[in-house]
Chain A
Amino acid sequence: MNFTSMLEVDEQFKEMSFDGSLVFVLLFQFCKYLQRFQSTLVIAEHNNEKLLPITQNAITAAKKLGGDISVLVFGTKCSHVAEQVSKAPGLARILVAENEAFHGFLPENVTPLVLATQKQFNFTHILAGATALTKSLLPRVAAKLDVSPISDIIGIKGPDTFVRTIYAGNAILTLKSKDPVKVITVRGTNFEPASLEGGSTVTETAPGGEYKTGLSQFLSQELSKSDRPELTSAKVVISGGRGMKSGENFKLLYDLADKLNAAVGASRAAVDAGFVANDLQVGQTGKIVAPELYIAVGISGAIQHLAGMKDSKTIVAINKDPEAPIFQVADYGLVQDLFKAVPELTGKL
Chain B
Amino acid sequence: MIIRVKPDKTGVVTDGVKHSMNPFDEIAVEEAVRLKEKKIAQEIVAVSCGPAQSQETLRTALAMGVDRGIHVEISGTEYDTLQPIHVSKILAKLAEDEKADIIIVGKQAIDDDANQTAQMTAALLDWPQGTFASKIEKLNGELHVIREIDGGLETIKVKLPAVVSADLRLNEPRYATLPNIMKAKKKPLKKVSPKDLGVDTTARIEVLSVEDPPTRQAGVILADVDQLIIKLKEGGHVQ
Contacts and interface: CB of A to CB of B under 8 A. Distances in A.
Q: Do A and B bind each other?
A: yes
A190 to B, nearest CB: 13
B178 interface: no
A258 to B, nearest CB: 13
A13 B42 CA distance: 72
B84 A222 contact: no
Contact of A224 (B147, B151, B203, B218): B151
B119 interface: yes
B113 A175 contact: no
Contacts of B132: 132, 136
Contact of B152 (A137, A165, A222): A222
> Of A139, A141, A142, A149, which is in contact with the most chain B CB atoms at under 10 Å from its CB?
A139
Interface in B154-194: 154-159, 167-169
Contact of B225 (A140, A293, A344): A344
Contacts of A178: 203-206
A331 interface: yes
A260 B238 CA distance: 7
Contacts of A215: 126-128, 158-159
Contacts of A222: 152-154
A148 B156 contact: no
A216 B159 contact: yes
B52 interface: no
B159 A214 contact: yes
Contact of A131 (B108, B113, B150, B212): B150
Contacts of A236: 237
B152 A223 contact: yes
B213 interface: yes
B208 A174 contact: yes
A173 B210 contact: yes
A341 interface: yes
Given A143-B124, A170-B3, A171-B3, A335 B152 contact: no
A174 B119 contact: no
Given A139-B123, A217-B157, A175 B207 contact: yes
Contact of A167 (B110, B119, B151, B169): B110
Interface residues of B, number: 78
Contact of B221 (A292, A310, A327): A327
A114 to B, nearest CB: 11
Contacts of A218: 154, 156
Contacts of B84: 139, 148-149
A152 interface: yes
Contact of A173 (B128, B168, B207): B207
Q: What DSSP secondary structure best describes chain A's contact surface? A: mixed
A135 B114 CA distance: 9
Interface string B1-17: 11101000000100000
Nearest to A45: B150
B150 A132 contact: yes
Nearest to A164: B113
A277 B152 contact: yes
A242 interface: no
Contacts of A214: 159
B172 to A, nearest CB: 10
> Of B107, B144, B209, which is in contact with the most chain A CB atoms at under 10 Å from its CB?
B209
Interface stretch (A17-25, A71-79, A93-101, A104-112): A104-112
Given A108-B129, A139-B115, A336-B225, 16 more contacts: A137-B119, A143-B119, A143-B120, A171-B5, A175-B208, A221-B153, A224-B151, A278-B134, A285-B108, A285-B167, A293-B235, A315-B219, A327-B221, A331-B220, A333-B221, A348-B226
29 contacts: A132-B149, A135-B119, A135-B131, A139-B116, A139-B119, A139-B123, A140-B123, A140-B129, A147-B204, A148-B204, A161-B208, A166-B12, A167-B12, A167-B110, A168-B110, A171-B12, A171-B210, A219-B144, A222-B152, A279-B148, A284-B113, A285-B108, A287-B150, A293-B237, A303-B2, A314-B237, A315-B219, A344-B225, A348-B226
Interface of B: 1-3, 5, 12, 83-85, 88, 107-108, 110-117, 119-124, 126-132, 134, 144, 147-159, 167-169, 203-213, 216-222, 224-226, 228-229, 231-232, 235, 237-238
